[in-house]
Structure 1
Amino acid sequence: MTLKQKVYARYQQLVSDKIDAFRDMISALSEDAQNDAKSSAGDKHETALSMMHLEQEKLNLKLAECLEQKAILDKIDPESTNDKVVLGSLVVANGIHLFLSAALPKVVIDGVSILALSPQSPLGSKLVGKSIGGVAEVNTSTYTIERIS
């Protein structure tokens, strides 16, 4: 399995785990709200239900964000190679490993730190379409592409 395939698999797992966790939290909140509705009445009850509803809305937004990240990852073929930077490319620039996908947390695989960034990010947008040896400038930093997989 190549480093790119391992990176892809790790991010797929990470996003799937987050989706499962948010779904579990939303489900638990719904159950709590139903149980609370059966046992309470009055102002305290209304306040508690409102707070649960707000929390559920926040969790639904986070779940939607994770589902968007999963949709982006699902578009990537981890076995494809390209001579230009595209969605799904694992790029080494200035010794930094960058995975062009969605904005996701840094992971370490086989002792290599990988940063996931979206093609819409300042650096990602400058890298897209460039080949090995290409240069991307962001603010005061210059990134030279050393490898693309």
Structure 2
Amino acid sequence: MEKNIKLDLYKLAKTLIESKINENKLAIASLKESVGSESKSTAGDKHETGRAMMHIEQEKVMRQLANNQKLMALLDRVDPELVNKNIQLGTLVITNDIRFYIIGGLGQLELHGKNYLLVSFQSDLVQAFKGKKEGDLVQFKDKSYAIEQLL
């Protein structure tokens, strides 16, 4: 059953990132259109300030898009059906207290009535678990976690 959870989490993460990429692209198109219509205005200093603010926002959204595209490329390297016996990208870690999927920093998701953290490989949480295997105890932020399963 947990193996199916891993595939479901993968699909959910992929859908979430695709959605973010689409939102970024729509926002960029909208901002470009706004900058274009601002260019036709002749409001002087106020006009220049508005354009500058739109360019800043456009750059911010473009950075978000680039980050989301990198995350998608990372996801594309993961085989969600592979069962991992060590902590690495694509591992689903089940402990006595938390469940986390090392796929990218997407936050917490609920699936089939259980909460899962989708975390990046570079996160402090994953670093604390590196080198551990099923049955090991891990200390992280004044708490002890027993690794019940790695998938």
Equivalent residues, number: 149
Q: How far is 1:127 from its partner? A: 1.6
State the secondary structure of the residue aligned to 1:83: coil
- Aligned twin of 1:9: 11
C-alpha contact (below 8 Å) 1:131/1:145 kept by paired residues: yes
1:48 aligns with 2:27: no
- Aligned twin of 1:28: 30
Alpha-carbon distance between aligned partners in 1 of 2:121 and 2:107, rounded to the nearest angstrom: 15
Worse overlay, 6-15 or 34-43: 34-43
Q: Residue type matched to 2:144 in 1?
A: T
Alpha-carbon distance between aligned partners in 2 of 1:75 and 1:15, rounded to the nearest angstrom: 14
Alpha-carbon distance between aligned partners in 2 of 1:105 and 1:121, rounded to the nearest angstrom: 11
1:115 aligns with 2:117: yes
- Counterpart of 1:137 (choices 139, 142, 145) is 139
1:124 aligns with 2:126: yes
TM-score (norm 2): 0.91
State the secondary structure of the residue aligned to 2:8: helix
- Aligned twin of 2:65: 63
- Aligned twin of 2:76: 74
Alpha-carbon distance between aligned partners in 1 of 2:72 and 2:60, rounded to the nearest angstrom: 19
Q: Residue type matched to 2:113 in 1?
A: G
State the secondary structure of the residue aligned to 1:9: helix
C-alpha contact (below 8 Å) 2:97/2:145 kept by paired residues: no
Q: Residue type matched to 1:17 in 2?
A: S
Q: How far is 1:41 from its partner? A: 4.4
Alpha-carbon distance between aligned partners in 1 of 2:18 and 2:113, rounded to the nearest angstrom: 23
State the secondary structure of the residue aligned to 2:40: helix
- Percentage of matched positions with identical amino acids: 35
Structure 2: segments with no counterpart, 5+ residues: none
Q: Residue type matched to 1:48 in 2?
A: G
Alpha-carbon distance between aligned partners in 1 of 2:5 and 2:37, rounded to the nearest angstrom: 48
Structure 1: segments with no counterpart, 5+ residues: none
User: What is the aligned-residue RMSD (CA, Å)?
Assistant: 1.5
TM-score (norm 1): 0.92
